[in-house]
């Protein structure tokens, strides 16, 4: 009964979305206040109805209601509760329901908290947001109904893909969706502004928090996925340039560009049409990502629910929204004139360079991801585009980006001189010293790692210099006092930039200095890897809640002391009939110990892999720091919105910049 | 679709444990290093975007052994890649070559960068004349708003 009610609620939500799409749009065109206001109750109704539908689906998973097809296909009574819940979005139907729920929720926040917006702009934003919703409600109700019943419910389910039964992956999709859908808000604002024919500082101020939120969720989501790959796939790779990874990486890059150009639009009222274009593209890439994942057009293990019809419908949605928005853009973009000018050497120019590099990077990923498809369709060639291509074609742009980042951050708006970059001398010296130190420590190793470390220190020290610059002149105590009172946006920027540097450092060190050892070891045997002694103490068979396991007991010693006892496993999930490798990892600040147990050899001994991975955890720590930076900036934004509303923004008295 | 997924599961279930296993490695560390290096550029044909060096699949193992056999037979890296391409098609290479249409793929980044830089330089040079010229279009209210904003900016700088 609840299931049928939920299905019905979803249909009602679709109707609410249709009303929200049409009525406020007409109201805004005609200037009818009542019609514009209709958007707000409709948005609230959408959230309540979709929320109910989602809760009902979650209940079906929690109580293992096997009369629902989607529960049978993706759950099992033996599954731990966490994965019963994550199973709700670990499949096509449920993940689309989560998608529309977040879409409705974000739309409603504008309805609830958007009093500061012009009424006509708010009405149009909500109408555009609802139109995206209508498309996805249609997709769910017509092709992917999660509430489909089975005539004869089976006794038990088929279990969720064991690779997905993991804490990292349990929360990976919701974060990505918060990011993807967050960009739908930027898109709605962009299209609404194009319809209004007006982009001003207030518009930039509204787009920025949404983009910021989307970007920080995407950062966290991508980091979770990468972390999962690191420990789950058994050899410690953190990025595969898999089409599905690229699908989330492209919107992340464009959102990063949008974040920076929206700042220019807000603070300087220039680069407007470019910001609007980026907002459209960012959501376009989100939709493209959904298409890639859901259609399975590009082979990938992630595409666990592939279906040509659904793929075609999503492609149709993508074409309609991106094509329509770009058409509107072509007609209207010329009306958005800049209201300030800037010199060739200025922060504006540096941010333009940032945007060019991020956009070109995203373009390279885009071309590389879709090239196998294009080559087959147009040139009759079946080929692969893998990591070696992306490493060679994409990385240079990120290196240049990291090189100019600290410079752009300390340049003043409008007009800069050579003097502006002088404080960065300390950062340059630190970078040079770090690279030299790294090179001496790793003699004979590839030169790339020391260069990467130097670059990372340049970015991190640059972020510190940037922050110190904000405190102005005066005694140390005065400056320290001002440092504490700096706005969250200043802190956020420096923290996020430093996080980017930390990630660069982790990647460089890992690629340059990783030590790998593959061997056959007898039980009780001790062997040495890069100064660490590793002992295979025991191997036992065991059972988990829904799997069987072969577990090794291994000890790692250094300097005569046991520093870690680790238990790498090989699991077999009998219901899904699938083995997984569970590496045992001891993470540290300076290095990760990474142990994997392999198959038993004919001799009765065991294949064992040992990795020493220097600075590996810095890769994800950097991503977390970036997200924290985003959150700090977001906190500041809210305060500033409130301050602007009160029309009493006191000058902070900081002469920095 | 369910059948493909089931087939995939069965294929995966038949996996041996690790990617590179001890028994397939070459005695000579230099040759082994060459084999590893080559392997990272060769696709495991039945996997997602994994190289044979990373993959656990049986086919990846066969290819790794094949690569090592060719190395021991004295082939150069290019010869081994050419041999694999002749057997499995260019799909086997993770790094597409630069022949024919693939030039477009490799040139996409540099060309886009040139285009991006060209447009930016053009834009930055042109917009320097905006000050004043654009100001005449403002309504009184917009003018006031602009003054408020720029004042706010100056206060902070």
Backbone φ and ψ of A378, nearest 5°: -100, -25
What is the DSSP code (8-state) at residue A319? I
| Total number of domains in chain A | 3
In a shared domain, residues A484 and A629: yes
In a shared domain, residues A553 and A487: no
Cβ-defined contact of A520 to B41 (cutoff 8 Å): no
* pLDDT per residue as tens digits for the range A255-299: 999 999 988 888 888 888 889 999 999 999 999 888 887 766 665
Q: How far is the C-alpha of A532 from the C-alpha of A557, rounded, in Å? A: 6
Q: Which of A339, A341, A382 sits opposite B91 (nearest CB)?
A: A382
End-to-end CA distance of chain B: give it in Å, rounded: 61
Mean pLDDT, range A461-468, rounded to an integer: 92
* pLDDT per residue as tens digits for the range A418-451: 888 888 899 999 999 998 888 887 666 677 888 9
For position A456, what pLDDT does the model report?
Answer: 95
For position A311, what pLDDT does the model report?
Answer: 76
Cβ-defined contact of B156 to A267 (cutoff 8 Å): no
Can you tell me whether residue B96 is helix, strand or coil? coil
A contact residues 265-284, partner B, Cβ 8 Å cutoff = 267, 269-270
Q: Is residue A360 part of a domain?
A: no
A655: nearest Cα among B106, B157, B113 = B157
Can you tell me whether residue A521 is helix, strand or coil? strand
In a shared domain, residues A488 and A587: no
Q: Is residue A215 part of a domain?
A: no
Cβ A486 vs Cβ A498: under 8 Å: no
Give the helix/strand (H/E) hosting A8: helix A2-30
Q: How far is the C-alpha of A648 from the C-alpha of B137, rounded, in Å? A: 28
Mean pLDDT, range A57-83, rounded to an integer: 89
A contact residues 479-518, partner B, Cβ 8 Å cutoff = 518
Q: Strand locations in A30-164, DSSP E?
A: none
Q: How confident is the model at residue A380 (pLDDT cuts 50, 70, 90)?
A: confident
Residues of chain A found within 8 Å of residue B77, distances taken between Cβ atoms: none
Which residue does chain A place closest to B116, by CA atoms? A356
A contact residues 288-317, partner B, Cβ 8 Å cutoff = 296, 299-302, 304-307
Cβ-defined contact of B130 to A518 (cutoff 8 Å): no
Sheet holding A591-600, edge to edge: A515-521, A606-614, A591-600, A584-586
Q: What angle do CA A325, A326, A332 make, to 5 degrees?
A: 90
Is pLDDT of B153 > 70? no
For position A591, what pLDDT does the model report?
Answer: 92
Cβ-defined contact of B12 to A579 (cutoff 8 Å): yes
B contact residues 71-100, partner A, Cβ 8 Å cutoff = 89-96, 100
In a shared domain, residues A136 and A21: yes
Is pLDDT of A204 > 90? no
Backbone φ and ψ of A496, nearest 5°: -65, -40
Q: Is residue A480 part of a domain?
A: yes
Q: How far is the C-alpha of A201 from the C-alpha of A207, rounded, in Å? A: 10
In a shared domain, residues A493 and A530: no
Is pLDDT of A640 > 60? no
Looking up tokens 């010229």 gives: B133
Q: Which of A160, A189, A205 is the last residue of a domain?
A: A160
For position B58, what pLDDT does the model report?
Answer: 81
Q: How confident is the model at residue B21 (pLDDT cuts 50, 70, 90)?
A: confident
* pLDDT per residue as tens digits for the range A341-362: 888 888 889 999 999 999 999 9
User: What's the sign of the alpha-carbon dihedral A195, A198, A202, A206?
Assistant: positive
Mean pLDDT, range A402-423, rounded to an integer: 88
For position A572, what pLDDT does the model report?
Answer: 85
Q: Is residue A219 part of a domain?
A: no
Which of A172-186, A565-579, A633-647 has the highest average model confidence (pLDDT)?
A: A172-186
For position A165, what pLDDT does the model report?
Answer: 77
Q: Is residue A340 part of a domain?
A: no
In a shared domain, residues A544 and A484: no
Mean pLDDT, range A16-31, rounded to an integer: 93
Looking up tokens 């640059």 gives: A462
Higher pLDDT, A31 or A302: A31
Which of A161, A360, A446 to probe the B interface (max B CBs under 10 A)? A360
Cα atoms in the Cβ-side hemisphere of radius 13 Å centred on A285: 35
* pLDDT per residue as tens digits for the range A117-146: 888 999 999 999 999 999 999 999 998 899
From residue A4, give the alpha-carbon distance in Å to each of A8, A60, A64, B97: 6, 12, 16, 55
Cβ A394 vs Cβ A377: under 8 Å: no
Q: Write the CATH number for A39.
A: 1.20.120
In a shared domain, residues A605 and A456: no
Can you tell me whether residue A568 is helix, strand or coil? coil
Write out the residue range of the structural domain in which residue A404 sits: 390-513+619-633+641-646
Q: How far is the C-alpha of A459 from the C-alpha of A401, rounded, in Å? A: 10
Q: How confident is the model at residue A623 (pLDDT cuts 50, 70, 90)?
A: very high
In a shared domain, residues A472 and A432: yes
In a shared domain, residues A556 and A593: yes
In a shared domain, residues A442 and A550: no
Cα atoms in the Cβ-side hemisphere of radius 13 Å centred on B4: 11
* pLDDT per residue as tens digits for the range B99-150: 888 999 999 999 999 999 999 988 888 877 655 444 455 666 777 777 777 7
Cβ A499 vs Cβ A620: under 8 Å: no
Can you tell me whether residue B15 is helix, strand or coil? coil
- 3-state SS of A344-371 is CCCHHHHHHHHHHHHHHHHHHHHHHHHH
Q: How far is the C-alpha of A97 from the C-alpha of B132, rounded, in Å? A: 51
Which of B35, B39, B48, B98 to probe the A interface (max A CBs under 10 A)? B48
* Chains A & B: contacts with CB separation below 8 Å: 196
Q: Which of A160, A187, A206 is the last residue of a domain?
A: A160
Q: How confident is the model at residue A650 (pLDDT cuts 50, 70, 90)?
A: very low
CB contact, 8 Å: B102 with chain A? yes
Q: With pLDDT > 90 as the criterion, what percentage of chain A qualifies? A: 47
A412 CB-contact burial (10 Å; exposed 0-12 / middle 13-18 / buried 19+): middle
A284: nearest Cα among A255, A257, A245 = A255
Residues of chain A found within 8 Å of residue B1, distances taken between Cβ atoms: 296, 305-307
Q: Is residue A574 part of a domain?
A: yes
Mean pLDDT, range A392-417, rounded to an integer: 91
In a shared domain, residues A463 and A495: yes
Q: How far is the C-alpha of A305 from the C-alpha of A293, rounded, in Å? A: 8
Residues of chain B found within 8 Å of residue A267, distances taken between Cβ atoms: 153
Q: What angle do CA B6, B8, B10 make, to 5 degrees?
A: 70
CB contact, 8 Å: B7 with chain A? no
Q: How far is the C-alpha of A179 from the C-alpha of A177, rounded, in Å? A: 5
Q: Is residue A657 part of a domain?
A: no
Can you tell me whether residue A419 is helix, strand or coil? helix
Q: Which of A110, A126, A160 is the last residue of a domain?
A: A160
Can you tell me whether residue B61 is helix, strand or coil? helix
CB contact, 8 Å: A225 with chain B? no
Which residue does chain B place closest to A379, by CA atoms? B101
What is the DSSP code (8-state) at residue B51? B
CB contact, 8 Å: A241 with chain B? yes
Listed range (A533-537, A616-620, A647-651, B111-115) with the worst mean pLDDT: A647-651
Cβ-defined contact of A356 to B116 (cutoff 8 Å): yes
Q: Is residue A204 part of a domain?
A: no
Mean pLDDT, range A513-542, rounded to an integer: 91
In a shared domain, residues A57 and A118: yes
Q: How confident is the model at residue A637 (pLDDT cuts 50, 70, 90)?
A: low
Q: How confident is the model at residue A10 (pLDDT cuts 50, 70, 90)?
A: very high
From residue A204, give the alpha-carbon distance in Å to each of A84, A270, A279, B34: 41, 10, 11, 53
């Amino acid at each position: 009964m609840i299931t049928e009610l939920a299905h019905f609620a979803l249909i009602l939500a679709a109707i609410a979305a249709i009303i929200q799409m049409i009525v406020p749009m007409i109201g805004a065109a005609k200037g009818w206040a009542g019609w514009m206001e209709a958007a707000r109750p409709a948005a609230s109704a959408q959230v309540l109805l979709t929320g109910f539908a989602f809760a009902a689906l979650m209940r079906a998973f929690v109580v293992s209601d096997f009369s629902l097809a989607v529960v049978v296909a993706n759950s099992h009574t033996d599954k731990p509760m966490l994965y019963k819940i994550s199973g709700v979005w670990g499949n096509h139907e449920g993940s689309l329901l989560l998608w529309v729920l977040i879409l409705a929720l974000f739309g409603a926040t504008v309805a609830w908290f958007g009093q500061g917006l012009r009424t006509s702009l708010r009405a149009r934003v909500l109408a555009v947001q609802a139109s995206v919703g209508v498309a996805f409600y249609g997709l769910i109700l017509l092709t992917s109904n999660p509430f489909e019943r089975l005539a004869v419910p089976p006794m038990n389910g088929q279990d969720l893909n064991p690779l997905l039964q993991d804490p990292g992956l349990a929360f990976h999709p919701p974060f990505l969706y918060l990011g993807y859908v967050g960009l739908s808000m930027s898109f709605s604002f962009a299209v609404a502004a194009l319809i209004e024919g007006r982009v001003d500082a207030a518009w930039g101020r509204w787009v920025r928090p949404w983009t910021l939120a989307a970007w920080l969720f995407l950062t966290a989501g991508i980091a979770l996925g990468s972390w999962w790959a690191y420990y789950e796939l058994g050899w410690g790779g953190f990025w595969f340039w898999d089409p599905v990874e690229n699908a989330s990486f492209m919107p992340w890059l464009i959102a990063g560009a949008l974040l920076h150009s929206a700042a220019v639009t807000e603070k300087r009222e220039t680069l407007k049409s470019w910001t609007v274009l980026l907002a459209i593209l960012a959501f376009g890439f989100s939709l493209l990502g959904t298409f890639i994942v859901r259609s399975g057009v590009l082979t990938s293990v992630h595409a666990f629910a592939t279906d040509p019809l659904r793929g075609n419908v999503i492609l149709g949605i993508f074409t309609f929204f991106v094509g329509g928005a770009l058409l509107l853009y072509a007609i209207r973009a010329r009306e958005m004139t800049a209201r300030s000018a800037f010199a060739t050497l200025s922060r504006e120019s540096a941010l333009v360079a940032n945007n060019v590099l991020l956009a070109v990077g995203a373009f390279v990923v885009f071309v590389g991801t879709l090239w196998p498809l294009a080559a087959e369709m147009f040139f009759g060639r079946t080929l692969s585009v893998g990591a070696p291509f992306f490493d060679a074609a994409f990385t240079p742009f990120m290196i240049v980006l990291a090189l100019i980042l600290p410079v752009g951050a300390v340049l003043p708006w409008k007009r800069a001189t050579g003097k502006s970059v002088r404080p960065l001398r300390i950062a340059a010296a630190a970078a040079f010293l770090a690279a030299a130190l790294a090179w001496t420590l790793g003699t004979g190793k590839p030169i790339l790692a020391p260069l990467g470390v130097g670059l990372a220190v340049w970015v991190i020290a640059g972020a510190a210099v940037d922050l110190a610059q904000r405190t102005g002149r005066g005694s140390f105590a005065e400056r320290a006092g001002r440092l504490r009172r700096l706005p969250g946006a200043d802190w956020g920027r420096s923290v996020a930039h430093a996080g980017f540097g930390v990630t660069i450092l982790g990647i460089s060190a890992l690629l340059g200095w990783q030590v790998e050892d593959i061997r056959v070891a007898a039980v009780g045997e001790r062997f040495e890897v890069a100064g660490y002694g590793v002992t295979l103490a025991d191997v036992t068979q065991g059972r988990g809640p829904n799997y069987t396991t072969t577990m090794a007991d291994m000890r790692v010693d250094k300097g005569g002391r046991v520093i870690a006892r680790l238990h790498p496993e090989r699991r077999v999930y009998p219901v899904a009939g699938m083995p997984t490798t569970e590496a045992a990892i001891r993470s540290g600040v300076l290095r990760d110990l990474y142990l994997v147990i392999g198959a038993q050899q004919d001799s009765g001994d065991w294949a064992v892999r040992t990795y020493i991975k220097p600075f590996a955890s810095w890769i994800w720590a950097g991503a977390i720091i970036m997200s924290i930076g985003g959150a700090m900036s977001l906190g500041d934004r809210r305060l500033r919105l409130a301050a602007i509303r009160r029309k009493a923004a006191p000058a902070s008295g900081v002469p920095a910049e | 679709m369910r059948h493909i997924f089931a087939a995939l599961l069965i294929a995966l279930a038949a996996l041996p444990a690790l990617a590179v296993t001890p028994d397939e490695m070459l005695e000579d560390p230099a040759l082994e290093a060459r084999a590893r290096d080559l392997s990272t550029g060769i696709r495991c044909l039945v996997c997602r975007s994994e190289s044979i060096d990373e993959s656990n699949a049986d086919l990846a193992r066969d290819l790794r052994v094949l690569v090592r056999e060719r190395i021991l037979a004295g082939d150069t890296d290019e010869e081994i890649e050419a041999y694999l391409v002749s057997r499995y098609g260019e799909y086997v290479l993770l790094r597409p070559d630069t022949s024919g249409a693939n030039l477009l793929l490799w040139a996409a980044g540099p060309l886009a960068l040139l285009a991006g830089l060209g447009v930016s330089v053009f834009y930055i040079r042109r917009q320097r004349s905006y000050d004043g010229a654009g100001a005449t279009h403002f309504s009184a209210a917009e003018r006031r708003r602009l003054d408020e904003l720029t004042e706010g900016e100056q206060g902070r700088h």
